[in-house]
């Protein structure tokens, strides 16, 4: 199951806002963020379309958890590892 661990950073009301959030994260945490491709996916949440900002996928769960821990320690509020 290697390579199947995306990290969700947040969700937004529009794709443009999700793109802007990725740019902010890349500017603030470039060494972590720019190693991975941004993945912006639409999802239905409570009847509305939200755009999930994900990174990855990471090679292992440990790598993904480390990315989240590093971002949270640096002051980001949200980071969730998916399988």
Q: Is the pLDDT of residue 58 over 70?
A: yes
Q: With bands split at pLDDT 50, 70 and 90, how would you rate the model's confidence at 10?
A: very high
Residue 67 backbone dihedrals phi, psi, to 5 degrees: -60, -50
Q: Is the pLDDT of residue 1 over 50?
A: no
Distance CA 77, CA 47 (A): 25
Q: Is 71 exposed, middle or buried (0-12, 13-18, 19+ CB in 10 A)?
A: buried
């Amino acid at each position: 199951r290697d390579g199947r661990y995306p990290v969700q950073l947040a969700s937004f009301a529009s794709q443009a806002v999700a793109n802007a959030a990725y740019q902010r994260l890349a500017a603030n945490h470039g060494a972590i963020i720019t190693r991975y491709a941004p993945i912006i996916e639409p999802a239905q949440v409570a009847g509305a379309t939200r755009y999930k900002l994900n990174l990855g996928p990471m090679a292992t769960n440990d790598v993904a958890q480390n990315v989240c821990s590093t971002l949270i320690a640096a002051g980001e509020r949200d980071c969730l590892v998916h399988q």
